[in-house]
Amino acid sequence: MPRIPFPKRKVPRRVAIEQLAILEQTYPHAVTALEYASEFQLLIAVILSAQTTDARVNMTTPKLFAKYPTPEKLARARQSDVEAIIRSTGFFRMKAKNIIACARDLVERFGGKVPHERDELETLGGVGRKTASVVMAAAFQGEALAVDTHVFRVSHRLGLTLGTTPRQVEEDLTALLPPAKWGDATHWLIMHGRQVCKAPTPRCEICPVRPDCPTPAIIRRL
Ligand code: SF4
């Protein structure tokens, strides 16, 4: 199938809210696919998940956390040792540097605890807006909506946004939902992107939001 263009117009607000309500009903228990046993482990797993799959990260982190179970241990790690463990996640040199820096920041400035506020999270090594949002959404029931590749694609196909940057998409989506639902909405959209609205070929024939989605008509014209 040729690349499917995104809709050029947003759906009306009433339709957008209805689409999100259907996704909420469809994925009521959606959570992050990353496996973790503490806020520290989640934070490190999210940093490692850049440019790779959660499944790949889940294959890597058991060995990493067995050797470095706490921020204190990871803060003292040799970078080459960490690189050897996380190599398969890609960009392993930069990621090793980032997670060690992050652990040092946790130890030196936050007593080894992961802060819950965005402003503080984003001061940690290797943590940008998206990483902070994922951590807040997954661990703190925080009022944060993270825009990854699935959220970006699905929200465009549904006509919820015309945003060209993750930040613009985030602003459009958060304007449609109360803050208490922002974290959960991240997971509905990711789950829908993984299971149904796949790239490059969406499974529109089984999609519960199909009646309100502008993309099937675009596909028919291809
Ligand atoms: S109808 Fe198709 S394009 Fe629209 S959300 Fe569903 S799977 Fe994606």
- Could you tell me the residue ranges of all domains in the chain? 13-29+145-220, 39-139
Burial label for 175, CB within 10 Å (0-12, 13-18, 19+), is exposed
Cα gap 186→177, rounded to integer Å: 11
Distance (angstroms) between ligand 1 centre and the Cα of 66 equals 41
Radius of gyration, CA atoms only, the chain = 19
Class of domain 13-29+145-220: mainly alpha
| Single-letter amino acid, residue 194 | R
Three-state DSSP at 151 gives helix
Divide the 222 residues of the chain into consecutive groups of 10 and give the mean pLDDT of each group.
91 98 96 94 97 96 98 98 98 98 98 96 95 91 90 98 97 97 95 96 97 97 92
Residues 6+ apart with CB under 8 A from 178: none
From the CA of 157, give the closest atom in ligand 1: 3
H or E segment to which residue 218 belongs:
helix 215-220
Of 108, 93, 105, 92, nearest in space to 43 by CA: 105
Per CATH, 13-29+145-220 and 39-139 having the same topology is answered no
What pLDDT, on the 0 to 100 scale, is given for residue 16? 98
Give the pLDDT confidence score for residue 2 in this predicted structure: 76
Q: How many residues does the chain have?
A: 222
- Please work out whether the CB of residue 44 comes within 6 Å of at least one atom of ligand 1: no
pLDDT given for residue 104 in this prediction? 98
pLDDT score recorded for residue 13:
98
Q: What CATH code is assigned to 39-139?
A: 1.10.340.30
Q: Is 105 a catalytic residue?
A: no
213 touches ligand 1 (CB under 6 Å): yes
Give, for ligand 1, the residue of 209, 212, 221 to mutate: max count of ligand atoms closer than 8 Å to Cβ.
209
